Amino acid sequence: MVRLTFYGGINEIGGNKILLEDYGHALLLDFGFPYKRHKEFYEEYLKPRSGAGLLDPLMMGLLPPLEGLYRDDLVTPSLWQQFRDTPIYRELDQVDGVLLSHAHLDHSGYISFLKNDIPIYTTVATAFIAKAMQDSGKSDFDQQVCYFSPTTREYPTGWKQIAYLTGNTAKEQWQFCVADVKPEDLSPEAIQFWHQGFWEKTARQKELISHPLGSHSQCSFNLRCFPVDHSIPGACAWGVETSSGWLIYSGDLRLHGKRAELTKRFIEQAGCLRPKILILEGTNVLRETNVAEHEVYENGLKAVANSNGLVMADFSPRDVDRLLTFRQVARDTGRKLAVLPKDAYLLKTMRLLEPEIPDIAQDDNLVIYQDTIASKYPSLWLRNICQEYSDKIVLAEDVSSAQDQFILCFSFFDLNELPSIRPKAGSVYVYSSSEPYNEEQEIDFRRLHQWLEHFNLRGVGLPVESNGQWQIPDGEKGLHASGHACGLDLLDIARQISPEVLIPVHSEEPDFYIEHLNHSGINVILPSLGKTIEV
Ligand SMILES: [Zn+2]
C-alpha cells in the first residue's frame, strides 16, 4: 500500500510538498515555497529570521514538522521539543530523494531547508536554472535551492544571547541527479557554469550526476521522467512504480505552448503505464480557453507597432519562450529587445543546453540594459556578463535618446529606472504576465498604474480595477499565454491517462475534478493538509 501525505499545494496554487511512502522507502514530490501562507504573515520588511533557522517556518506553519529531514545547521537548541506534541509531527530520516518538477520557487524553494545529502532528481535545465536564479538573485535563506552557506553559532563576549551567523561559511551544495542527460555529454562550458562561484578550496561542491532511470538506479524506486511544456524550460512530470502500481505526478503543465508536443507525449506514455494514481495540477480549472504564444506575438506586434515612443514589456524573465516572442516582435518592428543582465545570464545558461537559443553576442536584435546605479563591487556573474557582452550594453541615456528603437524587458521592480530614462509621450507599457491573484499584488498594481500615469505612459493588457475586480480591458486581451492548461485540457489529460485514482493539487478549485469526472470511472480523492491518503 502506498501512503501519500500532502504538506502543501492544498487549496493553494503552489507550495507543493508531497510525501510518498511505500514499504519503508520514501520520496518527496517537489518541496515548494508556500507563497500564499507566507504572505499571510510576512512581507518585504517582515521575513522569517535567517538566524532562527527552522524555528520561524515551523512555528508559523510554513514547513511541516518532520524531524530528521532538515539541515542540522538550522536546528536551534531544544527546537524539536517544541513540536513533538503537534498533530502532524513525526520523525522522518530516510528519504530516497526529491522529484523536482521544475524551477519555479513554489515547487523548489523549500529545498533550502532539506539535508543536502538528499538527492534532487530533476532535468538538467531545471538544475541550471536553479543555479542561475540563485547566482543572479538576492535569494533569501529560504529560497536557496542550489547551494548554501551553513549557519554557524558564535558566543560573543559581553552578550547574553548567541549570535547565529549566516552566509560567511564555505558553500555547500545539494546533490542534483539529472534524469535527461549524462553529465559527460555536457560541454566543458556547461560543466564550468555548474562549478562557477565555488572557487574556494573549502567549498563542498557536488558534481552533477546522472540518474540511470530504471532498475539500476541507486534510488529504491523505479522512476520515469517525462518532459512537459510549462512557462519555464526543463519542466517535467514524474512516474514512480509503487507496490500499488504506477503513480504519475504532473507538476505544472499545458497543452497550448510552443512545446505542447512534449506534454502530448507524456500523456501517451503515462497512459501506457496504466497508472493507479494521477496527482494532477488544477491551476486554471475554471478557465475555458487558452491564449497561445503565437497570439501573444500577434497582439504584442500590434501594441508595439502602434507606438512611436519607448515600449516596455513586462513578463516573467524565466519564461524563455516569452522572451523569444518579444525578440521576434522587436525584430519585426525595427527595434532591439533590451534585456536585463540577469535575463542575459539565464539566456546564456540555457544556450549551454539548447544551441538554438540565440547567442546575445551575435544577435542583432538583443542588447543588455545595465542599471544606472551600479555597485562598486558587482558579483562575479554580473562582471562576467558585462565583460563578455561589453559592446552590447546600453544605458539609460542610450535608450532615452532613441526611444523608438527599443523594447525594454521591464517589470514593476525595474520602474526605478524611469527617472533616468524619461519616457516621452506615446510610450507604452505592455503587460504580458498573469493577473493579480492576491491583495499584495493588487497593491503593486495600484502602484504600477500610478507610475504609468505619472510618466504619461499607456498601459496595454494591464488589468484595471472595477467594482473590486481586476480585469484586462476588452480589446487588450491575449497578451499572456498561461503556463497552465485550461479546465477542458486538464479533463482531457485526466481521461487519456485514465488512472484509477486522481488526486488534485496546486488548485483553489479542486472540486472541479469531482464535478466533471463523476461518472468517468476515475475516483477523485481530495487531499487535505497534513493528512495521509492510502491507496
Ligand atoms: Zn510552475
Query: SS3 string of 1-52?
Result: CCEEEECCCCCCCCCCEEEEEECCEEEEEEECCCHHHHHHHCECCECCCHHH
Burial of residue 435, with CB atoms counted within 10 A of its CB: 0-12 exposed, 13-18 middle, 19 or more buried:
middle
Give the global pTM. 0.94
Cell of 107: 515547487
Beta-bridge partners for 278: 248, 502
Tell me the CA–centroid distance for residue 374 and ligand 1, in Å: 32
pLDDT in tens, the chain (535 residues): 999 999 999 999 999 999 999 999 999 999 999 998 999 999 889 999 988 899 999 999 999 999 999 999 999 889 999 999 999 999 998 899 999 999 999 999 999 999 999 999 999 999 999 999 999 987 788 899 999 988 887 766 676 666 676 666 788 999 999 999 988 899 999 999 998 887 664 667 777 877 655 444 567 899 999 999 999 999 999 999 999 999 999 999 999 999 999 999 999 999 999 999 999 999 999 999 999 999 999 999 999 998 999 999 999 889 999 999 999 999 999 999 999 999 999 999 999 999 999 999 999 999 999 999 888 888 889 999 999 999 999 999 999 999 999 999 999 889 999 999 999 988 999 999 887 666 777 888 899 999 999 999 999 999 888 888 888 888 888 999 999 999 999 999 999 999 999 999 999 999 999 999 988 999 999 999 999 999 9
* The pLDDT value given to residue 216: 44
Distance (Å) from CA 148 to ligand 1 centroid: 23
Q: Cα separation of 340 and 325, whole Å? A: 16
Residue 31 CA to ligand 1 centre (angstroms): 13
Return the amino acid letter for 466. S
Compute, in angstroms, the gap from residue 146 CA to the centroid of ligand 1. Answer: 18
What's the CA-to-centroid distance between 91 and ligand 1, angstroms? 29
Centre of ligand 1 from the C-alpha of residue 252, in Å? 5
**CA 251 – ligand 1 centroid, Å:** 8
Cα of 228 from ligand 1 centre, angstroms: 11
Grouping H, G, I as helix, E, B as strand and the rest as coil, residue 208 is: coil
Cell numbers for 371: 542599471
Distance between Cα 419 and ligand 1 center (Å): 34
Residue with cell string 545529502: 117
Distance 492 CA to ligand 1 centre (A): 20
CA of 231 to the centre of ligand 1 (A): 7
Here the cell at position 72 is 542540522
Residue 409: the pLDDT is 96
Which residues contact residue 340 at a Cβ distance below 8 angstroms, ignoring those fewer than 6 apart?
Answer: 317, 368, 369, 409, 414
Q: Please tell me the distance between residue 418's alpha carbon and the centre of ligand 1 in angstroms.
A: 30
The C-alpha cell at 276 is 493507479
CA of residue 29 to ligand 1 center, whole Å:
14
Helix (H), strand (E) at residue 336: strand 336-339
Distance CA 223, CA 28 (A): 13
DSSP class per residue in 150-198: --EEE--TT-SSPEEE-S-S--EE--EEESSS-GGGS-HHHHHHHHTT-
> For residue 15, how far is its CA from the centre of ligand 1 (angstroms)?
10
In sequence order, what DSSP letters do the residues of 244-260 get, joined into one string?
Answer: TEEEEE--S--SSSTTH
What's the Cα-to-Cα distance from 94 to each of 11, 71, 390, rounded to whole Å?
Answer: 28, 14, 49
- 67 touches 90 (CB < 8 A): yes
How, if at all, do strands 336-339 and 406-409 pair? parallel
CA of 140 to the centre of ligand 1 (A): 19
Residue 225 phi, psi (nearest 5): -115, 120
Q: What is the pLDDT of residue 203?
A: 65
Radius of gyration in angstroms for the set of CA atoms belonging to the chain, rounded to a whole number: 23
